[in-house]
Amino acid sequence: MQDKYAGLTYESVVRNYAKTVASVCLMRLNNWADAEDCFQNTFLKLYTSSPEFAEEKHLKAWLIRVAINECKNTLRTRGRTVSLDKAAEIPVFMQESDRDTPPAILMRLKPKYREPMYLYYCEHYRIDEIAGILGKNPNTVKTLLRRGREEFKKLYGGDDFE
């Protein structure tokens, strides 16, 4: 098995990207137990397939894409959908005092807005990179970000968010 991924060992990849992959899974599923499964499957796929990456940014994008696909598979195989009522609930892993913080509000956005917002503001991807990761047109990503910001402002209150 290959032990280098863009110059990193497998252990280093897990250490460096665990938070990113976990966040992507949690953003998509809004359920910690399912997110843990997808997290493990993502890193298992990296280990078993041993793809080669020219640069670390390609490795990160690959991990995010695989995590998103794992989440889609989880939702599809379990036949579950998230109702709008449930999506608006406070995630169980957050304290009541955290419900109005930006991360909690991001979790309450619709998934179609949540993912591009997370990738743009938390992972600092450019719009064209997000489009590639999500398999969407860059103009669609711009629209999702604009609408996501509007929803965020409604939930967070205020016009300071850009």
- Residue ending a domain, choose from 29, 50, 81: 81
Task: State which residues form the domain around 68.
Answer: 1-81
Quickly state the pLDDT bin for 94 (edges 50, 70, 90).
very low
- Residue ending a domain, choose from 62, 81, 100: 81
Query: Does the pTM of the predicted model rise above 0.95?
Result: no
131 and 157 share one domain: yes
Taking the C-alpha atoms of residue 51 and residue 147, their distance in angstroms, rounded to an integer, is 35
- CATH number for 35: 1.10.1740.10
State residue 66's pLDDT score.
95
- CATH number for 109: 1.10.10.10
Tally of domains in the chain: 2
Which of 86-95, 100-109, 130-139 is the least confident region?
86-95
DSSP secondary structure of the chain = ----BTTB-HHHHHHHHHHHHHHHHHHHH--HHHHHHHHHHHHHHHHHH----SSHHHHHHHHHHHHHHHHHHHHHHHT----HHHHTSPPTTS-GGGTTSHHHHHHHS-HHHHHHHIIIIIS---HHHHHHHHT--HHHHHHHHHHHHHHHHHHH-SS---
18 and 57 share one domain: yes
Which of 20-24, 50-54, 112-116 is the least confident region?
50-54
112 and 161 share one domain: yes
12-40 per-position pLDDT tens digit = 999 999 999 999 998 888 888 899 999 99
**Range among 88-92, 100-104, 134-138 rated most confident:** 134-138
115-130 per-position pLDDT tens digit = 898 888 888 889 999 9
65 and 95 share one domain: no
Quickly state the pLDDT bin for 77 (edges 50, 70, 90).
confident
